[in-house]
Structure 1
Amino acid sequence: MNFIQSIGENRLLWVTLIAWFIAQGLKVLFTLIVDKRFNVLRFVGSGGMPSSHSSFVMSLATGTGRIHGWDSAIFTISLVFAFVVMYDAAGVRYAVGKQAIILNEIMKDYQKDKKMSEEQLKELVGHTPVEVFAGAVLGILVAIWML
């Protein structure tokens, strides 16, 4: 079997990609509902509801458990990996977003007196714990549904 065919038949890979795709699509939908505007860039952007990172890694962990067994080493590795990614999304990356908001405000005040670049830092980088949890639940449900 050739490489491309093997990739195409990798059910676990497809489950994770579909979980990510659904999460990213939901971000566009939630932006439309909450902000009353269509923003297609939310489909590829980070941050927001639900966390596509969490959806991606929890679908991987759940699918791995279903395929290889809940007591397998590979399930344990994928679950620990998922927890690290979700912690990072809700912790470190969320803090970076908060700092960007503060720095952007400082730059606005500074720009009033000085002429300088108006480029702002990206503020929507991480996730709230609710966004991470919603993404994780979505990933679990997609993996259960598809495998």
Structure 2
Amino acid sequence: MLFSASPSPSLARIASQSEDFCVRRSSRLVHGSSRRISSRRRSITVASVNISVDDVAQVFENKVLISAALACSIGQLSKPFTSALSGNGLDLGAVIRSGGMPSTHSAGVMAATTCLGLERGFSDPIFGVSAIFALFVMYDAQGVRREVGRHAKNLNKMAMLKRERSRVFQEKTNLVGNYARSASPSLESVDGADQEQLTIDEIGFNRLEESVGHTEVQVIAGAILGFLVSFGVELLLS
């Protein structure tokens, strides 16, 4: 009697599963080695990057940087003239100071934001991030920084009054001392408890900068300046 030599279904299933496992194992090893080789190639490529003059020159083709820098430059250079128009005289030092008309911070961020919108589209997420950043900067310019300028102005007034009172008190003390010495030559000096107090000059108080923030009009003027500059740069470089 002859028996069939064909394998059972369970043995065939086990053999098939082991074969699939070996294939998957070998494919994983191949993919892992290829990823390691590609990562090594990327690291070698990054380590051997050479920055040429042409790469640096491309910075000057960036419309966002050009618009922001040009808007800030125009804003700062126009401050002495706007100071003269407001009746404060031609203040050349305003070129290197913050505050004044127009707001350079507002001009720079608005120019960058507008240029990003024109370049990438107003639905681009990067434009949205830049617009939020611009709103924060402009709000801070007429909010927190403006209050800092007000505090500095009040502190300067208090220091000036304190200095004037110290000078008057010193003159009165010297006058009383001279009169006492002339009336009684044996009296050497007149020392008061207030003479031992430190004056403003002895403390080393320096006048604080009052022109730090901006008014709402200055912020709006800076934003309009940045908007117009970005449009001009876009038209010239497009």
* Letter of the 1:21 counterpart: S
The one-character-per-residue Cα deviations of 1:18-63 (angstroms, maximum 9, x if unpaired) are 1111111221211233346332221121000110100000001000
Alpha-carbon shift at residue 79 of structure 1 (Å): 0.5
Given candidates 57, 75, 78, the residue that maps to 1:26 is: 78
CA–CA distance in structure 2, aligned partners of residues 48 and 91 of structure 1: 14
- Matched ranges for 1:42-121 at <5 A: 42-112=94-164, 113=166, 114-116=199-201, 117=204, 119-121=206-208
* Larger relative contact order (CA 8 Å, sep ≥ 6): 1
Give the TM-score of the pair, scaled to structure 1: 0.93
Aligned alpha-carbon RMSD (Å): 1.5
Partner AA of 1:67 in structure 2 = E
Once superposed, which parts of structure 1, at least 4 consecutive aligned residues long, lie more than 2 Å away? 32-40
Aligned AA (2:107): S
Total equivalences in the alignment: 147
Answer yes or no: is the 8 Å Cα contact 2:142–2:214 preserved in 1: yes
Q: CA deviation at 1:111?
A: 1.4
Q: Deviations over 1:81-116 (max 9, x none)?
A: 101110110000000000001111111111121351
Quick one: structure 1 residues 36 and 92, their matched pair in 2 at CA, closer, same or farther if it must change by over 3 Å?
closer
CA distance in 1 between counterparts of 2:106 and 2:200 reads: 41
SS in 2 for 1:121: coil
Matched, 1:138 2:190: no
Which residue identity does 1:11 align to in structure 2?
K
| Superposition deviation, residue 4 in structure 1 | 1.8
Structure 1 pair 9/95, CA: closer, same or farther in 2 (3 Å)? same
2:64 aligns with 12
Higher Cα Rg, which structure: 2
- Please, which moves more after superposition, 12-21 or 2-11? 2-11
Change (3 A) 1:17 1:76: same
Structure 2, gaps ≥5 residues long: 1-51, 167-198
Q: Is the 8 A contact 2:159 2:200 kept in 1?
A: no
SS of aligned partner of 1:106? helix
CA distance in structure 2 between the partners assigned to 1:31 and 1:40 by the alignment: 9
